[in-house]
């Protein structure tokens, strides 16, 4: 099996990328191995049911949204290989945008509204709340959650919940009203790109599908807040109010739904 700097790849992938320069992309927390070429990206991850769904959604979206084009898909030795086109532009977590909160929130608003405008009648994947809760239950039962990356007051002696099991029960007991749209599933600043003052692409589409509008808003709000307060990146951008996002979206802030979907994400 051929290798790239010690990373095993399939013969089909190697034929396409052989001899091309690349770098390792370590932004994000997906746990995948990501190699970035000049105009392509190779993502290597453990085999899962989710992988096939991701590929089907990416192909479905090719003429609907600026998403990576699927170039080659392979599976070997319990690993999945996805070679796709590279999105141009800068991630919205780039310092340029963090120093320009008005422009940043305008772009985030554009990105969300563009998702919501897509006709979901034939979307090949459903990521509704029942699906999310079923997967959260599986996460808890198999102790697959990551307690190192949760909000400070979620667990612990003085936390809101004593255990992930307690949180899971709260999620089942407090299900909010569901409004289906095309949902990114992980609408965080590193997953949205901009070029020439517009959204140029969406990446990391592992949870993309028909889902609730407020899940994307909640994860966007959390990402925006923590990129600005120094939780991510270490630099604090003084004087920023993340509620600017709701002003740009033209909707009222819903604390209960924000809290619910942020708590749901604590189990993944």
The DSSP-derived string for 221-241 is HHHHHHHHTTTTTS---TT--
What's the pLDDT at 27? 62
CATH architecture of residue range(s) 90-265: Alpha-Beta Complex (3.90)
Nearest to residue 180, comparing CAs of 254, 109, 120, 139? Answer: 120
What's the pLDDT at 28? 54
Rounded Cα distance, 18 and 40, in Å? 12
- Look up 204 and say whether it is catalytic: no
Distances (CA, A) of 81 to 4, 27, 61, 88, 98: 13, 19, 19, 21, 33
Determine which one of 94, 186, 216, 259 is catalytic. 186
**Full-model pTM:** 0.92
- DSSP H or E segment with residue 83: strand 79-85
- Which CATH number applies to 3-85? 3.30.200.20
Question: Mind listing the pLDDT tens digit of every residue in the chain (268 residues)?
Answer: 799 989 999 999 999 999 999 999 866 555 689 999 999 999 999 988 889 999 999 999 999 999 999 999 999 999 999 999 999 999 999 999 999 999 999 999 999 999 999 999 999 999 999 999 999 999 999 999 999 889 999 998 889 999 999 999 999 999 999 999 999 999 999 999 999 999 999 999 999 999 999 999 999 999 999 999 999 999 999 999 999 999 999 999 999 999 999 999 999 9
What's the pLDDT at 22? 96
Contact 242, 225 (CB under 8 A): yes
The domain segmentation of the chain, as residue ranges, is: 3-85, 90-265
What ranges in the chain are assigned the alpha helix state H? 11-17, 49-61, 95-98, 101-116, 129-141, 164-173, 213-228, 244-249, 255-265
What's the pLDDT at 32? 84
């Amino acid at each position: 099996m051929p290798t790239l700097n010690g990373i095993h790849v399939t013969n089909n992938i190697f034929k396409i990328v052989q001899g091309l320069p690349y770098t390792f992309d370590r932004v994000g927390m997906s746990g995948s191995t990501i190699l970035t070429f000049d105009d392509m990206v190779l993502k290597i991850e453990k085999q899962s049911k989710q992988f096939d769904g991701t590929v089907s959604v990416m192909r479905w979206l090719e003429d609907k949204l600026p998403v990576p084009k699927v170039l080659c898909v392979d599976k070997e030795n319990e690993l999945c290989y996805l070679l796709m086109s590279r999105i141009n532009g800068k991630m919205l977590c780039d310092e340029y945008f963090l120093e320009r909160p008005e422009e940043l929130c305008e772009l985030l608003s554009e990105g969300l509204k563009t998702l919501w405008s897509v006709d979901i009648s034939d979307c090949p994947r459903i990521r509704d709340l029942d699906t999310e809760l079923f997967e959260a239950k599986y996460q808890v039962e198999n102790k697959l959650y990551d307690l190192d990356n949760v909000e400070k007051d979620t667990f612990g002696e003085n936390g809101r919940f004593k255990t992930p099991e307690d949180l899971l029960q709260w999620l089942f007991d407090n299900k909010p009203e569901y409004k289906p749209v095309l949902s990114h599933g992980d609408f965080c600043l590193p997953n949205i790109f901009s070029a020439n003052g517009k959204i140029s692409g969406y990446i990391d589409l592992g949870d993309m599908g028909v889902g609730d509008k407020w899940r994307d808003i909640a994860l966007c709000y959390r990402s925006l807040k923590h990129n600005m307060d120094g939780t991510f990146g270490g630099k604090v951008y003084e004087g920023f109010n993340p509620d600017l996002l709701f002003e740009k979206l033209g909707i009222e802030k819903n604390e209960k739904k924000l809290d619910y979907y942020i708590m749901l994400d604590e189990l993944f």
